[in-house]
Structure 1
Amino acid sequence: MKKIKLDIVGLSYSQTQSGAYALVLGEVNGRRRLPIIIGGFEAQAIAIEIEKMTPSRPLTHDLFKSFAQSFNINIEEVIIYNLVDGIFYAKLICNDGKKTTEIDARTSDAIALAVRFECPIHTYEFILATAGIMIEGNDFVFLENIESPTEEKSPSSQGSYASLTDDELKEKLQQALAEEAYEKAASIRDELTKRNAL
């Protein structure tokens, strides 16, 4: 079967399932999108790597990468190979220089590892035909702040960053990363990015 390459084009809070996130994969050089509902922790792991944030201690997927690299194992490809009753199935194609091995994985974990190993993500036509959606107009990327489903965001926290100086924001960003408060760090980073764009 012919494989179709996918890129991550979006990650946002799911409007349909509480505590879940929608990961949107896009067909490279195509207009179809593949939305996948994933958990908050996996969404956070993907967002942290995409945004190039550095946690104070390694997350599970970072640990897996370090472990694999210590034994000269590389993930060469992630394939979303099946869809059964609304559940996507994925596998990691790994190589240690001598042999290639396929490892079954949850799709969210496979994507979190794909962004860390910078390997391609593929699927098959029947999956895009079954679960894909066609978009109209210009393509766009959206990556919203990822929150842990167990934490509440205080209503005043978002607006409070506007009154701080750049240096104060940078200090708070380092503090948030040290405390592993990645949602807070993402909000602070967004405020700094917004200021630099002006």
Structure 2
Amino acid sequence: MSLIQLTIKGISYSQTQSGAYALVLSEIDGARTLPIIIGAFEAQSIAIALESEIRPPRPLTHDLFKTFSDAFDINIKEVIIHKLVDGVFFSSLICEREGKEEIIDTRTSDAIAIAVRFDAPIFTYENIIDKAGIYLKVDEEMAIENKFGSKEVSLETEKVDIKDTGNFSNLTLKELQKQLHTAVDNENYELAAKIRDEISKRS
């Protein structure tokens, strides 16, 4: 299976669901985006690593991992998001030390936080982005860049309305697709990810 390289487009925060963030990844050579729901700590860690002006007074866990790896001459070559099961993404760190390569299983949010610190490329497989990717229009791409651009990631974004996200089981696939497009139009990537996962379960 061919690998697709991804880049971080931004992080979206929901004020109506405590601790819920959507990490938005996008194809480097394509129009699809891949929203992934992550926790508050990982969202903060990724945002801090992307923002060169912010330095925490004490190292975060992912900073400690980077310091530890540097001390023992371990390099992170790349991150691969290799599996998607019931809306959960599975990832691997491809590490190298003294010419020997190791593959380490990791949560996707941790993998991205580490990849940013090592300037390591992020990949996924074509079948995963085919299944879970969301297409955006050009103006929507620009809106995300302006709002959640990787050089200006903010954890304080506009309020996201997710009142109607409780139960998708009563909706048809056509209705889900319509809601998915509406969520993307409204830049509600957390909701879009949930609807996408419901559609995937029925496929």
TM-score by length of 1: 0.71
Could you tell me which residue of structure 2 aligns to residue 108 of structure 1? 109
Q: Residues 90-169 of structure 1: matches in 2 within 5 Å? A: 90-138=91-139, 139-140=141-142, 141=145, 142-143=147-148, 145-146=154-155
TM-score by length of 2: 0.69
**Equivalent residues, number:** 147
The 1:129/1:17 distance shift into structure 2, 3 A limit, reads farther
**Amino acid of the structure 1 residue aligned with 2:155:** I
Contact 1:42–1:112 at 8 Å: present in 2 too? Answer: yes
**Amino acid of the structure 2 residue aligned with 1:145:** S
Could you tell me which residue of structure 2 aligns to residue 18 of structure 1? 18
Aligned-residue sequence identity (percent) comes to: 59
Residue 38, structure 1, aligned to residue 38, structure 2: yes
How far, CA to CA, are the matches of 1:16 and 1:105 in structure 2? Answer: 28
SS in 2 for 1:79: strand
Q: Which has the larger radius of gyration?
A: 1
Contact 1:79–1:122 at 8 Å: present in 2 too? Answer: yes
Moved over 4 A (4+): none
SS in 2 for 1:48: helix
Structure 1, unaligned runs of 5 or more: 148-198
Cα offset for 1:16?
A: 7.5
The more displaced of 100-109 and 16-25 is: 16-25
Could you tell me which residue of structure 1 aligns to residue 182 of structure 2? none
The 1:16/1:102 distance shift into structure 2, 3 A limit, reads farther
Contact 1:14–1:37 at 8 Å: present in 2 too? Answer: no
Q: CA-atom RMSD, angstroms?
A: 1.5
Contact 1:40–1:146 at 8 Å: present in 2 too? Answer: no
How far, CA to CA, are the matches of 1:128 and 1:40 in structure 2? Answer: 24
Query: Relative contact order (alpha carbons < 8 A, sep ≥ 6): 1 or 2 greater?
Result: 2
SS in 2 for 1:145: coil
The 1:124/1:12 distance shift into structure 2, 3 A limit, reads same
The 1:100/1:85 distance shift into structure 2, 3 A limit, reads same
Structure 2, unaligned runs of 5 or more: 157-203
**Amino acid of the structure 1 residue aligned with 2:106:** A
